[in-house]
Structure 1
Amino acid sequence: MRSQPSLELGQHQQLVLTPQLRQALKLLQCSTQELEQEITQALADNPLLERDDPAPDEAAARAEMLEHRWAQPARQIVSDDIPESGTTQSLADHLLQQLRTTRATPRDQGLVALLIGELDERGYLDFDPQSFSSALPPGLDIQDEEWRAALRLLQSFDPAGVGARDLSECLRLQLRAREDEWPPDVLACAVRLTECLDDLGAGRWGRLCETLGCERSLLDAAHRALLRLDPHPVSAWHDEATCYVVPDILFYRGPGEWLASLNPALEPRLRLDAGLVAQIQGADVPSGLREQVSQAHHLIQQLGQRRQTILRVAGFIASHQRPFLDHGEGALRPLVLRDVAQALDLHESTISRATRMKYAQTPWGVFELKYFFGTGVQTTSGEDASSRAIQALMRALLDAEPAGKPLSDMRLTRLLADQGIVIARRTVAKYREAMGVPAASLRKARS
């Protein structure tokens, strides 16, 4: 039986976003920098629009109101992307870029990438193959020799000295990378001298000559070679620019409550150019010009709606998170998008857009609005504790752990239970990993 093409009539429902609604949603989720780019483009495209800048007296009053609080360095920012800050290549990025150019197998590249993630601020590595293997999922069956091969590959990268396990090895790696700069006898003596740094620091020249079996002149040449090396070869990657974020919201204490206000310095306002509008009134206006007038009206209206929505959401957060604003991170309350959406009669996606890359100034630093959201755990007192508050408590316990005796996940679980927070050990492990804290075995190896 052959099928024949045919025409049929039918009805179906389809949600279609108008261009105006699509633009309103886009503006709502824009960060401050992205919004400025949108406005700059709108001003370039539509000659009927102009900025509605405040009068000089009003601008001065606003600047005085800020009291320099808006541009404080961000003491604590929780966000994956900070548009107001410049981006520079990190040490990890620099090393991973070199790793991708090698001929190492995917398995070996994965091991090297793990080692890169464990480098400390000096670029050194507390290396213990068994500890690294125990921290990985079972079944990978990684041999110690594989870890050592990964370490050798990492230590061959630039800057020379990265991945060293101590200062002596750091210096030897640099000597190996620059061996053409010295005569063979000076290089050999300098390599041996890296094992006698205590005597070298104390200036025990006679003992060093006896230990190394060399003349004082050769020892001095080897010493000069070491002085040309850098004990902190990755220091250049720590000269990062200070990160500044100008917050969109200010949380401030009102009469008996916490309130939210928009940063007037970041409130872009537009208006129609009155002179141009007056010239086209009553004339035979081309359809294209009428369309620009309509687009200008819509954009001004959408910016007003954006301000109102962000302020409503921020106001709810200020009220709900009053314990945090009074006492700090440990007092954060659980909050999910659904709670705010139901309270403000908005859709959850609207709340998500309104909090995306919007920052608030609080007594405890600058935070992205999304920071104030999180699930909760019920305590033995019957109250709910935010997951971030639990992490703050864990951080305090970890900061106070005895040197050389790090707290295991089970011990952390018991200490939290003593304070009324009963959660599973695997939850503690998940929170610890989210905080970027390695397992107890790795912390013990570093002590």
Structure 2
Amino acid sequence: MALKQSYQINQKQLQGLVLTQSMKQSILMLQTNLLNLTDYVQDLSMANPLFDVNPTVSKQEVEMSTALENNSVSHQTLYDYLLEQVRLTMRPTSLRDVVVCLIDQLDEHGYLVKSDQELLELLPVDKITLIDAKELLFSLDPPGVGAQSLQECLILQLQARKATAQTTLALTMLEKYFDNIINHNWSTIAQHLEVSIPEVEAAFAVIQTLTPYPYTEDYDNNGYIIPELILKTNDDKLSLEVTKYGYPKIVFAQETYEQLKQSTDQETQEYIKNKYQEYQSLQRNLERRIQTIALIGRCIIEAQAPFLLQKTSELQPLLLRDVANKLDISISTVSRTINGKYLQTDFGIFELKHFFTKRSNPNSDKSVNQVQAQIKNLIDKENQQHPLSDQKLVELLAQQDIQIARRTVAKYRQQLGIVSASKRRKK
């Protein structure tokens, strides 16, 4: 089965979560980085005679740019991206641990390569727990991740979309008539489902917008970045600017619009009305994108001011839901906004999601980052002939009103790359 894979196709997949075409476009533009945003808007202009696009920066200019100097940005692997979502969206439970184990079994495209039977033999869980863990894995981005076959991958992608007559029919076809889809047996499918062949073909067109792999290397951005937020510091005061460098400039074709408006043909009048509405919607969504990024950027700056003023190297606790609740927007909107968007500071460039870190425990006002820094500080000052055990670190942290378990101290120590006390001891 020929399943065309492209930038636009992946976006149609993600747009299916919202109601109107305008909101589909708004979410798509929000989650897209600037370089791909320019490509997208230029594609729209090809189908609309009422505006042209003047890109303010090209990919070649970004590649040649020295603005980033030696600031390198490491891009996440699929494994790291999924783990980050788990960390930010799931509470620490035994079920979450199983989800992490499943992520470890994914191949480079996001497929779960082992069968359920093999997973049950590998993991100390029962069948119900495995099913629950897989459902949580399916809820992560990108859609289709955790699938064990092409058929399941396509089904998961469709299930993530808003239900329409076409998507419902396409889903039924995938679930019950997958072999017939591969062989293009439209008449057989139409007969069994009691629908017309054109309806089957329309549903197949929906299936063709899906991707055969949950994840490919081009799912992420191309490695070049343009910071959309610039942070300036003046006398311990922080100010945020939204840079429009790299934003596509929309030029309205006024003369063409006036000419077409003079037509007395009804179809032409309807056409020009629709294209003008598309132009207006595009302008609104570009502005909405800027406003949303700016609002979330300000929340981040307010929460992480000590770090951004370089008064500390540790980040404060900050969760997606904290920002979502403050701005009265959905967690998914925050997640889409921070992914692939960057803040430029005087001491480096940071992806927005860098500033999100969970609390060391639900009742603590300390982030994991802060607790790890305290552990490292205590170990750095220890007597090397009598190094601090994990239990002793627990007691010392408790004196600083940081209440965590010994096993948590051990985990944080290992994450810092610090060996156990017995291996740190010097004779």
TM-score (norm 1): 0.49
> Taking every aligned residue pair, what percent have the same amino acid on both sides?
30
Instruction: Check the 8 A contact 2:390/2:409 in 1, yes or no.
Output: yes
Specify the alignment match of 2:227 in structure 1: 247
What's the CA shift for 1:337? 2.3
1:387-413 per-residue CA deviation (whole Å, 9 max, x = no partner) reads 222234445566778889986544544
Q: 2:372 aligns with which of 391, 395, 399?
A: 391
Instruction: Check the 8 A contact 1:357/1:368 in 2, yes or no.
Output: yes
Q: Quick one: which amino acid aligns to residue 430 of structure 1?
A: K
What's the CA shift for 1:313? 1.0
| Alpha-carbon separation, structure 2, partners of 1:327 and 1:409 | 30
Q: Quick one: which amino acid aligns to residue 282 of structure 2?
A: L
What's the CA shift for 1:366? 1.9
5 Å-filtered alignment, 1:121-270, equals 245-254=225-234, 257-270=237-250
Specify the alignment match of 2:155 in structure 1: none
Specify the alignment match of 2:189 in structure 1: none
1:303-341 per-residue CA deviation (whole Å, 9 max, x = no partner) reads 110001101110121122111112355342212223222
| Alpha-carbon separation, structure 1, partners of 2:352 and 2:34 | 13
Is residue 2:8 matched to residue 1:28?
no
SS of match in other structure, 1:366: strand
| Alpha-carbon separation, structure 1, partners of 2:75 and 2:388 | 26
1:14-70 per-residue CA deviation (whole Å, 9 max, x = no partner) reads x9611111111111111233323322322333332223567xxxx9xxxxxxxx995
What's the CA shift for 1:272? 1.9
| Alpha-carbon separation, structure 2, partners of 1:378 and 1:327 | 25
Q: Per the alignment, do residues 333 and 304 of structure 1 end up closer, same or farther by CA in structure 2, a change over 3 Å counting?
A: same
Is residue 2:292 matched to residue 1:313?
no
CA RMSD of aligned residues (A): 4.5
SS of match in other structure, 2:40: helix
Instruction: Check the 8 A contact 2:229/2:343 in 1, yes or no.
Output: yes
| Alpha-carbon separation, structure 2, partners of 1:25 and 1:251 | 25
Q: Per the alignment, do residues 300 and 410 of structure 1 end up closer, same or farther by CA in structure 2, a change over 3 Å counting?
A: same
What's the CA shift for 1:269? 3.1
Specify the alignment match of 1:224 in structure 2: none
Instruction: Check the 8 A contact 1:334/1:375 in 2, yes or no.
Output: yes
Q: 2:256 aligns with which of 266, 270, 276?
A: 276
SS of match in other structure, 1:246: coil
| Alpha-carbon separation, structure 2, partners of 1:400 and 1:392 | 12
Q: Per the alignment, do residues 443 and 281 of structure 1 end up closer, same or farther by CA in structure 2, a change over 3 Å counting?
A: farther
Is residue 2:21 matched to residue 1:19?
yes
Q: Quick one: which amino acid aligns to residue 313 of structure 2?
A: G
Q: Quick one: which amino acid aligns to residue 73 of structure 1?
A: N
| Alpha-carbon separation, structure 2, partners of 1:289 and 1:343 | 41
Instruction: Check the 8 A contact 1:48/1:296 in 2, yes or no.
Output: yes
Is residue 2:406 matched to residue 1:425?
yes
Q: For the pair shown, which has the larger CA radius of gyration, 1 or 2?
A: 1
| Alpha-carbon separation, structure 2, partners of 1:33 and 1:399 | 44
Q: 1:358 aligns with which of 318, 333, 341?
A: 341
Q: 1:368 aligns with which of 351, 357, 367?
A: 351
Instruction: Check the 8 A contact 1:71/1:247 in 2, yes or no.
Output: no
What's the CA shift for 1:255? 6.7
| Alpha-carbon separation, structure 2, partners of 1:441 and 1:361 | 39
The total of aligned residue pairs comes to 266
Q: Per the alignment, do residues 392 and 245 of structure 1 end up closer, same or farther by CA in structure 2, a change over 3 Å counting?
A: farther
Specify the alignment match of 1:238 in structure 2: none
Q: Quick one: which amino acid aligns to residue 71 of structure 1?
A: L
1:58-100 per-residue CA deviation (whole Å, 9 max, x = no partner) reads x9xxxxxxxx9952433676855799xxxxxxxxxxxx99xxx
| Alpha-carbon separation, structure 2, partners of 1:408 and 1:19 | 59
Instruction: Check the 8 A contact 2:41/2:53 in 1, yes or no.
Output: no
Specify the alignment match of 1:123 in structure 2: none
| Alpha-carbon separation, structure 1, partners of 2:256 and 2:273 | 12
Note the residue ranges of structure 1 that are not aligned, 5 or more in a row. 1-14, 60-67, 84-95, 98-106, 108-136, 138-242
1:345-399 per-residue CA deviation (whole Å, 9 max, x = no partner) reads 32222222221221112344222211212222489xx982222222344455667
What's the CA shift for 1:422? 3.0
1:407-444 per-residue CA deviation (whole Å, 9 max, x = no partner) reads 654454455445543321222233345x3637539977
| Alpha-carbon separation, structure 2, partners of 1:340 and 1:271 | 34
Is residue 2:305 matched to residue 1:303?
no
Instruction: Check the 8 A contact 1:409/1:425 in 2, yes or no.
Output: yes
Q: Quick one: which amino acid aligns to residue 25 of structure 2?
A: Q
Note the residue ranges of structure 2 that are not aligned, 5 or more in a row. 1-16, 58-64, 82-106, 109-117, 119-123, 125-222
Instruction: Check the 8 A contact 1:248/1:358 in 2, yes or no.
Output: yes
